[in-house]
Amino acid sequence: MESVIRQLLEKKNYDVNDLVTIVRVLRSENGCPWDKVQTHKTIRKDLIEETYEVIEAIDCDSPEMMQEELGDVLLQVVFHTVLESEQGHFELGDVTNDVCRKLIVRHPHVFGDVNVDGVDDVLRNWDSIKMDTKGQETFTDTLKSVPKTFPALMRAQKLGKRAAKSGFDFESAQQAFDGLKSEVDETEAVLSDKEKAAEELGDLMFSCVNVARKLDLDAEELLSQANEKFLKRFEAVEKLTVQDGEDITKLSPDRLEEYWQRAKKQSN
C-alpha cells in the first residue's frame, strides 16, 4: 500500500481509475477511520445532497462550480462501487459496461438500422425498448418502476406522464384545471375533519401537478421557484417592518397583509 500511495503522490494528473485507487486506500487497514466504516446506507444522503449541489451549479450557470460538484458526484459513484467490489459483486468497469450497452441498445437509430422521424419517434422507441429490456408487460409495471424515493412532486408528475402513455389522461390543461377546481371544493368541504382533509389535500396537490404537466411545466421546479419568491417577499416584509419601527411578531394579520402587499409591489 505504501508504494501505491507513493505513486499517487508522484502523479501530476489523475483519472477515474486513480479515484478508485484512492477510495481503496482510504478504506484500507491503515486508511481513514471515517471512510473505513461507511456503508451504502450511511452515505446514502451524501449522494442525494451532492446531486442537488450539481443542480445548483447548473442553475448558477457556473462551469467552475459544476466541475467541482460533478467530481463530488463521481466520488459517490466510485465509493458505492468500491463497497460492492469489496463484496465481489461488481467493479467500476461493470458499471460502465452496463450503461454503455444500455445506450447502444436504446439508440437503434444511431447504432442500428432503425429510422426515426424526430424526437417523438426517439422517445417512443426508448420507452418500448425500456419496457422490453426491463420485462415490463403492462403500463402499471412502468408506473410501479418510478422510485418511491423521488420527491413527491417529481414522482407525481412521472406517474401522470407514464399513465398518459396508455391514453389515461386529461384532454387539455383546461380539463385538468377543472379537475383541480373540483378537488378544491372537495377539500373545502372537509376542512373540519383533519383525516379527510389530509386525503383531499393530497388529491388537490396531485391535481396541481396534472395541470403543470398538461402545460408542459415541471411541478418540482415551479414549487422551488415559488419557495424562492416567498423567501424574498418575506425578507422584504421584515425589512419594511423594521424601517417603520414595527415588531413583526406583534402585528395583526391585517397589518401583516398590508406589508405583504407592499412587498409584492416592490417585487413587480
pLDDT the model gives residue 249: 95
pLDDT tens readout for residues 55-67: 999 999 999 999 9
pLDDT tens readout for residues 11-57: 999 999 999 999 999 999 999 999 999 999 999 999 999 999 999 99
- Predicted TM-score (pTM) of the model is 0.75
Q: How far is CA 86 from CA 4, 37, 80, 258, in A?
A: 18, 13, 10, 62
pLDDT the model gives residue 62: 96
- Looking up cell 442537488 gives 52
- Which residues does the chain have with pLDDT short of 50? none
pLDDT the model gives residue 1: 78
2-90 carries CATH number 1.10.4080.10? no
pLDDT the model gives residue 267: 79
Q: What are the residue ranges spanned by the domains of the chain?
A: 2-90, 222-267
**17 neighbors 81 (Cβ within 8 angstroms):** no
Q: How far apart are CA 89 and CA 82, in angstroms?
A: 10
**Is the alpha carbon torsion for 192, 194, 200, 205 positive or negative?**
positive
Residues 205-239, buried b or exposed e (16+ Cβ, 10 A)? bbbbbbbbbbeeebbbeebeeeeeeeeebeebbee
